[in-house]
Structure 1
Amino acid sequence: MQLANKIIVVTGAGSGMGREMTLQLLKKNAKVVGVDIHENALVETQKLAGVGDDCFKGFQLDISNKEKVEALPAAVIAHFGSVDGLINNAGIIQKFIPVNELSYEDIQRVMNVNFYGMVYLTKSFLPHFLTRPEAHIVNISSMGGFIPFPGQTIYGAAKAAVKLFTEGLYAELKETNVKVTVVHPGAIATNITENSGLGKPKGDPATQTKMALPAPKAAALILRAIEKNSYRITVGKDATILDILYRLNPRFATNFIRKMMKKAVGNM
C-alpha cells in the first residue's frame, strides 16, 4: 500500500518507534492519528513534526480500556473522514523476574496492554477497513514472540499471542482488501523500560545503545513492510539470527537465550 494521502492510526505515538513511524509517515505525506496514554508525549510528537491538526491528530487513550477504544473510530472518522491503516505498536514489558515471583496484577497488565489492547483496536477499526478500497493492519510482536526470554515469560506469551492472532487474521482477510503484517523487532533503542513503569534500565547505556537498532531505522523497515504488503518481517540482526536459530534447534536456542539473559539481568 502506498502511504501518501493515507490516514494511519499509530499507537504508542508519543515515543520510541511509534513516534519515529509517525514522523516518517508524515514525511511520506500520510496523515496520522497518534494514540498514546501520555497526552504530553503526543503534544511533543506533534511539535517535532511541525504540522497542524489537519495532518496529525493526537488521542490520549489507555488501549486496555475496551469501551474507550471502541469509541475511537467514530472520533477519528469525524476528524479525518476515513481511516486506511492501523499500526498496533504500543506495548509494555514486565518486571525482569520469574513467573513464580510475578503478581497476577502484573500479569494481567501486560496481557491487557500487549494483547487485548491490540485486539480491541483491530476489532474496532476492522469493519471500517473492510469498506475502504485498501487498508492495512500492522501488529508489532517481538522476537520474544517466537523464542522464550526467561524473566520476560509473560511478555513473550503476550507477543506470541499477537503473532498467532495476526497470522490467523491474515488468513481470514486474504481475499479482502485488508492486508495484514506481523512484525518481530529485536532490541530497539527506545524507552520501553521506563514507559512500562520499571524505571531506567541498569547497566552501561552506551553498550545498550550500541547493541540496539536505532528507532528511526526500525520504523523505516516497518513502513517499508506496509508498502510491500509483507506478511512477516524481523527487524534487527538479532531477531533475524534468533529466528533462524530457533527454527533449526529450539532447545539449543532456548538454552542459549537463558545464558544470555542470566548475564544481562544480573547487570540491570
Structure 2
Amino acid sequence: MRVAGKVIVVTGGASGIGRALVLELLGRGARVAAVDLNAGGLEETSTLAKAGERLSTHVLNITQREVVEALPAEVAARHGAVDGLINNAGIIQPFARVSDLEYGAIERVMNVNFYGTLYMTKAFLPHLLARPEAHIVNLSSMGGFLPVPGQSLYGASKAAVKLLTEGLYAELLGTSVRVTVVFPGAVATNITANSGVEVRQAEGQRGSLKPLPPEEAARRIIAGMEQDRFRVLVGSDARLMDFLYRLAPAWATRFIQRQMRSLLEG
C-alpha cells in the first residue's frame, strides 16, 4: 500500500524509530496520528515535522484497553479515516535472568509490547477492513526469533508479537488489509532510558556493531510496507542472525550468550 494520501497511526511516535516513522510518512505525503505516553516527546516530534493539520498527536497509554478503544473514532474525526497502523511502541526489560526478574517488570514488558499491540490492532481492525486498502505493520525484534540471555521476557513478548502478526496475515488473506512483521536489529534509539533500564558495560568494552540510524530503519520499514512484504529484517545484524539461527540454532544461541555475558555478570 502506497502511503501517499493515506492516514497512518504510529505508536511510540515521541522518539526513536517511532518519531522517524512519523517524519518519513509525512515526507512521503501521508497524514499521521502519532501516539505516545510522552506528551513532551510528541510536541518535539510535531515541531520537527512542521506538518500542520497532516499530523495529530495523541497522548495515551496503549496498555489501557478502554482508552485505546476510543482512539479510532478520535483519529477518524481528525483525519476522516484510518488506512494504516504501525505498532512500534515497545520497551525492554532490566538486564537480568528470569530467576532474578521481578513480576512487576515481567508484567510491564508484556503489557506494553504484547497487549498494547493487541489492543491497538483489535481497536483499529474494523476500521481498516472498511477501507479499500489498508495495512498493519507490527514491530517484533531480532530478539523475537533469537533468544537473548538477560532479555528473555522481552524476547517472549516480541515472539508473541511475531506469531500474532503472522496469524493476522493468514486470517486477513483475501481481505483489503495487508500485514507485515518487522524484525529490527540494533538501532540507535533511547529505548533503554525510555524503558527505565540501566545498562552495565565492562570497563574498556566497546561494541563492534554500529547501530542503524532510526531514520534509515524507518525508510526500510516504510519501503517494506509499500511493497506489501510479509517480513522485513532491518539491519545487517538482523539478517545475519536470522540466517545463522535457521542454519544452526544451538550455535547461534551460544554465540549470543557469549556476547551478553558481561551484562549478566556482577
**Which range, TM-score by smaller chain?**
over 0.9
Alpha-carbon shift at residue 51 of structure 1 (Å): 1.9
1:161 corresponds to which residue?
Answer: 160
Q: Would the alpha carbon gap of residues 208 and 38 (structure 1) be closer, same or farther in structure 2, given more than 3 Å must change?
A: farther
Alpha-carbon shift at residue 14 of structure 1 (Å): 0.4
1:213-228 aligned at under 5 Å gives the runs 213-228=212-227
1:102 corresponds to which residue?
Answer: 101
Tell whether the 8 Å contact from 1:142 to 1:183 is kept in structure 2 after alignment: yes
Could you list the runs of 5+ residues in structure 1 that have no partner in the other structure? Answer: none
1:14 corresponds to which residue?
Answer: 14
Could you list the runs of 5+ residues in structure 2 that have no partner in the other structure? Answer: none
Give per-residue Cα distances to partners, 1:178-225, cap 9 Å, x unaligned: 000000000100000000012577579x95596211111100000000
1:143 corresponds to which residue?
Answer: 142
Alpha-carbon shift at residue 263 of structure 1 (Å): 3.5
Distance 2:200 2:4 in 1: 37
1:1-268 aligned at under 5 Å gives the runs 1-52=1-52, 54-199=53-198, 202=201, 211-263=210-262
Give the match's secondary structure for 2:24. Answer: helix
Tell whether the 8 Å contact from 1:193 to 1:201 is kept in structure 2 after alignment: no
- TM-score for both structures, normalised by structure 2: 0.96
Give the match's secondary structure for 2:82. Answer: coil
Tell whether the 8 Å contact from 2:146 to 2:245 is kept in structure 1 after alignment: yes
Tell whether the 8 Å contact from 2:7 to 2:32 is kept in structure 1 after alignment: yes
Q: CA RMSD in A?
A: 1.8
Q: Would the alpha carbon gap of residues 64 and 201 (structure 1) be closer, same or farther in structure 2, given more than 3 Å must change?
A: farther
Give per-residue Cα distances to partners, 1:215-245, cap 9 Å, x unaligned: 1110000000011000001100111000000
Distance 1:107 1:44 in 2: 30
Tell whether the 8 Å contact from 2:94 to 2:198 is kept in structure 1 after alignment: no
Q: Would the alpha carbon gap of residues 56 and 108 (structure 1) be closer, same or farther in structure 2, given more than 3 Å must change?
A: same
Amino acid corresponding to residue 126 of structure 1 in structure 2: L
Tell whether the 8 Å contact from 1:194 to 1:200 is kept in structure 2 after alignment: no
Give the match's secondary structure for 1:197. Answer: coil
Distance 2:211 2:264 in 1: 16
Q: Would the alpha carbon gap of residues 200 and 49 (structure 1) be closer, same or farther in structure 2, given more than 3 Å must change?
A: farther
Q: Would the alpha carbon gap of residues 196 and 72 (structure 1) be closer, same or farther in structure 2, given more than 3 Å must change?
A: same
Amino acid corresponding to residue 56 of structure 2 in structure 1: K
Give the match's secondary structure for 1:2. Answer: coil
Q: Would the alpha carbon gap of residues 44 and 208 (structure 1) be closer, same or farther in structure 2, given more than 3 Å must change?
A: farther
| Over 3 Å off, 4+ runs | 199-204, 206-210, 263-267
Give per-residue Cα distances to partners, 1:33-71, cap 9 Å, x unaligned: 00011011001000001122x110000011111110011
Tell whether the 8 Å contact from 2:201 to 2:263 is kept in structure 1 after alignment: no
Distance 1:259 1:46 in 2: 41
Give the match's secondary structure for 1:211. Answer: coil
Give per-residue Cα distances to partners, 1:132-190, cap 9 Å, x unaligned: 00000000000000010000000000000000000000000011000000000001000
- TM-score for both structures, normalised by structure 1: 0.95
Indicate the percent of aligned positions where both proteins have the same amino acid.
Answer: 55
